[in-house]
Structures are given as structure tokens and as C-alpha cells.
Amino acid sequence: MKKLNLAIIGQGRSGKNIHGKYYRSESNLYYDVKYVVDADEFRRSVAEEIYPGCKTFADYHELFALNDIDLVVNSTYSEMHYPITKDLLLHGFNVLVEKPFARSRYECDELIKIAEDKGLTLAVFQQTFLAPFYPFAYDLAKSGKLGEIKQISIRYNNFARRWDWQTLQKKCAGGVYNTGPHPIGLALGFLDFDKNARVVYSKLGTALTFGDSDDFAKIIIDTPNKPLVDIEVTSIDAFSNYNVKILGTRGCFKCTPAAYEMTYIVDGENPGKTVSETFIKNDAGEPIYCSEKLVKHTEEGKFTGTAFDVGTATLYEQLYYKITEGKPMTVKPEMAAAVIGVIEKVHADNPLPLKF
């Protein structure tokens, strides 16, 4: 198997500790890190140590003179994702861009069209779709085991403060642009990216952040004949004990990326009741509340791997075969563009004052 030559732009938390962790792992059978770009001299020196033999640059434009690059990974600041990806595509490079894909749906669609017109591979790093918990939850929701699914709640919450660039609107940052692509992507995935899905309610605010972008978000998406989806991305929730919860007419499921549990009933195991138009009474004729002991089933289990190991490795493996053999990827840029469409709508409906 011939490895592909890879260049990565950006050696921040994602570039070094997520993408880089994969490059240095035993799972990486597909790529040689040949070039690293970062404006910071110290980060370039670290890259030369952890990727022996790689060549480093301070400016990504220096890549344009090279003809031995199979893939460029754009792991720069969020506001740079669109212009740098566009520049790379126009110069003939296959690109994997970090989330968020871009700031607007228009920018996403433009990048997709450039890639199609030039016959290039464009991918977006939304690896949560490939984390073991998500396909399990998706398949369960479709299986009928929980009955008709009425609501799906997705929580990406914590209780913490931030004061870095990820808190600034001018950096295309904040909770919804930074963390939001994960839960919003999963939400649209549960809805099979139905084009009739609409944001029917949203609220953005600031709570613990020291910046001017959101760290409190509630988003509700409704779709005809499909479950209601309730999304939260907030920094003031110390008690959220799940990432995904599914409510069906026969049962309930909740999970984190590490484990799941569910409770459900089975048709035929709980006899039906006759509806009473008056109060229900006991043997003595006194009114009582409805009360019964349902025959319920419970299950629980654990997931092996997360978005940051299994998800990352799977996405990169699929990307290798997309570039070399044209095989389709699970995560398509059109999916990431739909996510940005939701984020753009939410920000348009909830403008926050610019302070920086």
C-alpha cells in the first residue's frame, strides 16, 4: 500500500493533538506527514521533532511550489477555514478542512462547487458521525424497538469558563460554531438530512465566557413526520449525564460516547386498559390514581472507542480510499454544509453584540 504525502496547516490543539495523534498512531497506515505549516517558530520546531524528516514552513503559500502533496489538512483558526481551503482548491490540492466548514452556507456551497469543477476531493473533519455511539443510536432509533420516536435530545454541555480565541465572534468562534457542528450534525443525521428540517426555536446567550460569542445555546429543529430534536450547547450545566437521549412510544434510550442504557416495553406483555370517563376506584369504591406495574426490559452496555480515536481513524481511512479509488465517504461535505446552514440561521436570529 502506497502512503499518501500529507501537509498539515496549523499545529494548535486540533492540528497537533487530534490529527497529529492519529498520524503518530499505529492506526495510521495511510499517510506520511511530509510538510507542516505554522506561523509559530516553536510549533514548527516541535513538528520537526515529532515528524522526523518533515519540512516546515511559516506560510502555507509555500506549498504551492510543491508537486508531491496528495492531501492538505486545514487545521487553522476557524475564520481561516474558508479562505485557505478555497485557495488550496484553486491551486489543485485535495483538502480536509476542520470544522466548522465555513461561516456561511454560501461559502460551503462555493467550496463544494470548486472541488467538483476541479475533480478534487474535499472533506470536512466531522468525525463524530463515525464514533461508535452514534451509528448504534441511529440504528436503534430506526429499528422500532423503542416504538415511534417522538423526541431526540442532544446535549454537549459542561460547566466551565473560556477566554481564548474560541470565545470571539470575529474568529468565527463560540459554542455553536466550535462545539455545535457535533450535536447539530448528529441531529440532522437522525433526521436523515431531511431538506424540510427547520429551526423552529433558538436562543443564544453569554454566561461564563470572557469573550463576546455564545456559550449558551438552545436549538429546536422540527421536521414533518419526524422526531422533534432538542439541542443544547452550554457552559453552565453541571448535571447533564447524557449526550443523546431518544424518547419513543415504547421506550427510552440515553448514552454518552462511553456507555448507554435503555428501558422499553414489548407489545403484548402489558394488557390494554379500558378508558374510564369517571374516576378509577378501588375495591372499597374510593377514588385512586392510575397505577400499574409495567413489564419493562432494561439494557446497558459500553462503547469501545470515541470520535477522537475510532472516529478519526475511520474518517482518515475512508479519505484515503476516496482519494485513491474514488470510494464514497460517510461524512460528505454537503452534510457539513447543512450543519453550517443551521448555525448561520441561529446566529442570524440571535445577534450578539460585538465587543472585540
Task: Note whether residue 321 is domain-resident.
Answer: no
pLDDT band at 282 (very low <50, low <70, confident <90, very high): confident
How many residues are recorded in the chain?
356
pLDDT band at 292 (very low <50, low <70, confident <90, very high): confident
CATH of the domain at 154: 3.30.360.10
Q: What is the pLDDT of residue 285?
A: 84
Interval 165-181: pLDDT, tens: 999 999 999 999 999 99
Mean pLDDT of the chain: 97
pLDDT band at 200 (very low <50, low <70, confident <90, very high): very high
Tally of structural domains, the chain = 2
Q: What is the pLDDT of residue 277?
A: 81
Q: What is the mean pLDDT of residues 206-219?
A: 98
Q: Is the pLDDT of residue 1 over 90?
A: no
Residues 71 and 174 in one domain: no
Residues 64 and 119 in one domain: yes
Task: Note whether residue 285 is domain-resident.
Answer: yes
Task: Note whether residue 325 is domain-resident.
Answer: no
Residues 123 and 134 in one domain: no
Residues 192 and 294 in one domain: yes
Task: Note whether residue 99 is domain-resident.
Answer: yes
Residues 160 and 95 in one domain: no
Q: What is the pLDDT of residue 283?
A: 84
Interval 114-150: pLDDT, tens: 999 999 999 999 999 999 999 999 999 999 999 999 9
User: Whose CA is closest to 59, among 109, 124, 101, 10?
Assistant: 10
Q: What is the mean pLDDT of residues 157-161?
A: 97
Residues 142 and 276 in one domain: yes
Residues 60 and 174 in one domain: no
Q: Is the pLDDT of residue 290 over 90?
A: no
Task: Note whether residue 76 is domain-resident.
Answer: yes
* 110, 127, 144 - which closes a domain: 127
Residues 184 and 42 in one domain: no
* 94, 127, 160 - which closes a domain: 127
Task: Note whether residue 270 is domain-resident.
Answer: yes
Residues 152 and 273 in one domain: yes
Task: Note whether residue 304 is domain-resident.
Answer: yes
The model's pTM: 0.95
Percent of the chain topping pLDDT 90:
94
* 67, 102, 127 - which closes a domain: 127
Q: What is the mean pLDDT of residues 190-213?
A: 98
Interval 232-271: pLDDT, tens: 999 999 999 999 999 999 999 999 999 999 999 999 999 9
* Residue whose C-alpha cell reads 465517504 in the numeric block: 329
Task: Note whether residue 27 is domain-resident.
Answer: yes
**Residue ranges making up the domain that contains 197:** 130-308+340-349
Residues 68 and 100 in one domain: yes
Interval 297-340: pLDDT, tens: 999 999 999 999 999 999 999 999 999 999 999 999 999 999 99
Residues 145 and 256 in one domain: yes
Residues 9 and 65 in one domain: yes
CATH of the domain at 116: 3.40.50.720
Q: What is the mean pLDDT of residues 207-219?
A: 98
